[in-house]
Amino acid sequence: MRKLKALLLVIAAVQGSLGLAFLFLPAATAGWMGLAPYPPGLDYLLGMLAARFLAYGIGLAVVARAPVVPRIWIDTMILIQALDLAVGILLTARGVLGLGVTAFPMFNATVFCFLLVLWRPRAALARPGFAA
């Protein structure tokens, strides 16, 4: 369980960092990630994305310190990471984004997803009412 809680804190830090970066410096963050300049109106969408990054990061940090980790938090982060990976693969395969842009996020998504699946508590060990 200590490994899982440490992983949740790492993921919380990544989510929180992305949230702060996209909230306060959206164009610079997109550029740092290797994305092309975009129309200013997309800052609104990136701000909404930032809110979700921040909320999930805070939630995972709190859950990581809880005596029992509700599996729904782990399962939904697995879904997020799997979708991140799938979108990265699709956009790279279609030539929309180069591997230089997608490789690191796809690597993170793969590692996080794999470890979350490997270390998540079995349903029998999860607290009643939170088991998936």
What is the span of the domain harbouring residue 13? 2-125
| Residue 131 covered by a domain | no
pLDDT in the model for residue 132: 45
Give me the mean pLDDT over the 75-80 stretch: 97
C-alpha 126/C-alpha 73 separation (Å) is 12
Instruction: Look up residue 92 and give its two tokens.
Output: 């790279």
pLDDT in the model for residue 122: 82
C-alpha 103/C-alpha 124 separation (Å) is 36
| Residue 66 covered by a domain | yes
| Residue 25 covered by a domain | yes
* End-to-end Cα distance, the chain: 17
When divided into structural domains, the chain yields a total of 1
Q: Are 69 and 4 in contact (CB under 8 A)?
A: yes
Give me the mean pLDDT over the 79-105 stretch: 97
| Residue 107 covered by a domain | yes
How do residues 23-60 score in pLDDT, each as one tens digit? 999 999 999 999 999 998 999 999 999 999 999 999 99
